[in-house]
Amino acid sequence: MHERDVMRAWSELFRGKGTTADTLASAEALLSSLSGESPLHLRLANELEELKTGPPNRKKKRTGSQQTK
């Protein structure tokens, strides 16, 4: 499978749908079809990990103008 085909299938897999165990399994299968050295593999692997664990918690810094007194 070419990278273009993987990207198309990846987009279709997550378009407007919730993330389920089946979609994650399908994403893993797509990922395994790419070479481990591929930049696309790295990007999608990171995206898949984020989908599994959720986005990182980032605290927003409050500036002086945003603080209430």
The tally of CA atoms less than 13 A away on the side-chain side of residue 53 is: 9
Would the pLDDT of 66 be above 60? no
Residue in this structure with the two tokens 């389920």, named with its chain if needed: 20
What does the alpha-carbon distance between residue 53 and residue 9 come to, in Å, rounded to a whole number? 22
pTM of the model: 0.70
Tokens of 37: 């050295």
Q: What is the pLDDT of residues 9-51, one digit of tens each?
A: 999 998 887 788 999 999 999 999 999 889 999 999 999 999 8
pLDDT band for 62, please (50, 70, 90 cuts).
low
Would the pLDDT of 69 be above 70? no
Q: What pLDDT score was predicted for residue 61?
A: 60
**Cα Rg for the chain, rounded, in angstroms?**
17
**How many Cβ atoms are within 10 Å of 26's Cβ, its own excluded?**
16
